[in-house]
Each structure stands twice: as structure tokens, then as C-alpha cells.
Amino acid sequence: MASVDLLRDGHVATIQLNRPEKLNALTKEMTKQLFEIVYEVNQDDELRVVILTGVGEKSFSVGSDVTLLDEYGTNWHFRNRLEYCDLLRGMKKPLIAMIGGYAVGGGFELALCADLRFAAESAKFGATEIKLGWIGGGGVTQLLTHLIGYGKAMKMILSGEIISAQEANEMGILEALVPDDQLRNYTYEFAHKIASYSPVALQTAKHGCKIALSTPLDVGIMYERDMQTISFYTEDKEEGIQAFKEKRAPKFQGR
């Protein structure tokens, strides 16, 4: 049965697209589940880092199931179906896309919504919607252009070509490219490492970096200083300093 699953492992949450027989193509019900899970994760203070992935080795996701798009009866409902991308992009907590297999069409956009993209060497990427007569609506024209520049983004979007993980890495789409059999361990080791840090520091760091994409430099630096001040006057900062003095690992509580 198609579903979106939430798995918990300490301070790390995994959002898992579970429809491997259809390359993790999203149904209307799955997008509803995704909304609910993202909201739950955002509100749960025990969860500090989030991993987004797909079940199976063949596909991360191919986005919306194109055979079911007629279920959206009006232009308005069709347009707003992609608000789950906005929700993922707006998560307070660091979001890592763990990508095996195909990440094409709307699945590529899901990966672009993440803060970090870790991929297996066999992964494939593409903005393939143009081959079907339309373009992506989950952010591909904006996010990809920010990430790799106008010319490279245009080439991918206009051609609809599927590229290898090696090409994606060289273009700057990925933050890590690892052998297939090491992807899971690499991703979870990194996620648990940063989840051991102060959640206040993690979230303010994320917000500061995201602000840099849409504000002038001077405004961004002022925002960063505000965020530093917020994180400095916390119990977690006191714990970090005390642990440093005592030569032990800090125990951050998110306060």
C-alpha cells in the first residue's frame, strides 16, 4: 500500500516515500500524509535532523504519479498540490535528501527542497517534465538556478535530459556522492553527528544560510548577528562552554 512513513531514531527523523512498485511516485493520499508528517516533525522538539528518502534501490521519487493528475479537478487544486514542496523547503530543522536511484521530475524537486543532498553513485537526476509538455512547479526553475547558475539550470530544464550522479556532483547539485552500499551509513552517521549539536544553533544556522539566498549582503550579516545573539544567550551555549572546559561531550537540550 502506498504511504509516507515516519521513522524515529533518537534525534533523527526519517520521512520515507513508500511506493517502490511505482518508483515512489506520489499519490494524492501520499501528499496529504506528507503534509501531516512534516507538521508533526516540525513540532516535535525531540527531533533535530530530518532525512527524506524513498523505499527501494530503483528510485528516490519520480514526483507526482502523472496517471493520477486528473484527480485534481480544477486549475487551483492542481496548482496547490505542490504546496508540500513549500512545506519541506520551509522546515525549521536541517533536511537531508538521501537519494538512491531515480530523482526525476517532481522527485528531483523534492531533492532540491532539501538543505543537503547525499546520493548513491548509481543515482540519476532530471527535470523531465518538459518532455510531457509542461514544466515543474515545485521550485525547479528557482532552486536549480540558485544552486548551479542560470546556464546550467536552463540546459537541464530545457533538455529534460537525465544525468548521472557523477554529473550532478560536478555541477554542484550534490553535497556528497558515495558508493551505493555506503549511502545509508554515510547519511545516518552525518545526521546523528549534527543531531548531537544544539537544536537552537542548528536552526539558526539554517535560517541564516537561507536568508543569504534572498537578501543583500549587509542585511544578511545583520540577520546573522541577531541569530548569533539568540543562540548565545541559551542554556545550550552555557552547556557547550562548560563541556569544553571539562573536556567532555556536551549534552544539549534545545534551551
Q: Vertex 113, ends 109 and 118: CA angle to 5°?
A: 90
Q: What is the pLDDT of residue 41?
A: 96
pLDDT at 59 exceeding the cut of 60: yes
**Parts of the chain belonging to CATH 3.90.226.10:** 3-195
Q: What is the pLDDT of residue 245?
A: 84
pLDDT at 146 exceeding the cut of 70: yes
**Parts of the chain belonging to CATH 1.10.12.10:** 197-246
Q: What is the pTM of this model?
A: 0.91
pLDDT at 80 exceeding the cut of 60: no
Q: The C-alpha cell of 173 is what?
A: 547539485
* Rounded average pLDDT over 74-82: 59
Looking at domain 197-246, its CATH class is mainly alpha
Q: What whole-number distance in Å separates Cα of residue 146 and Cα of residue 144? A: 5
Q: What is the pLDDT of residue 249?
A: 83
Distances (CA, A) of 150 to 129, 145, 157, 196, 210: 18, 5, 10, 37, 19
Beta-strand relationship, 12-18 and 3-9? antiparallel
The answer to whether residues 87 and 33 touch, using CB atoms and an 8 Å cutoff, is no
Query: 12 vs 135, which has greater pLDDT?
Result: 12
Active-site residue, selected from the candidate residues 40, 46, 121, 129: 129
**For 21-36, how does the pLDDT look when each residue is reduced to its tens digit (9 = 90+)?**
999 998 988 988 999 9
Q: What is the pLDDT of residue 73?
A: 59
Q: Mean pLDDT of all residues in the chain? A: 90
Options 3.40.50.300, 3.90.226.10, 3.20.20.70, 2.20.25.90; CATH for 3-195 is 3.90.226.10
Which of 63-77, 119-133, 177-191 bottoms out in mean pLDDT, i.e. has the lowest?
Answer: 63-77
Amino acid residing at 52:
L
* Rounded average pLDDT over 121-131: 95
* Rounded average pLDDT over 179-189: 98
Is 129 a catalytic site residue? Answer: yes
Q: What is the pLDDT of residue 33?
A: 92
Active-site residue, selected from the candidate residues 29, 83, 109, 238: 109
Which of 74-78, 127-131, 242-246 has the highest average model confidence (pLDDT)?
127-131
pLDDT at 227 exceeding the cut of 90: no
CA dihedral 186, 187, 188, 191 (to 10 degrees): 120
Is 40 a catalytic site residue? Answer: no
Query: 163 in helix, strand or coil?
Result: strand
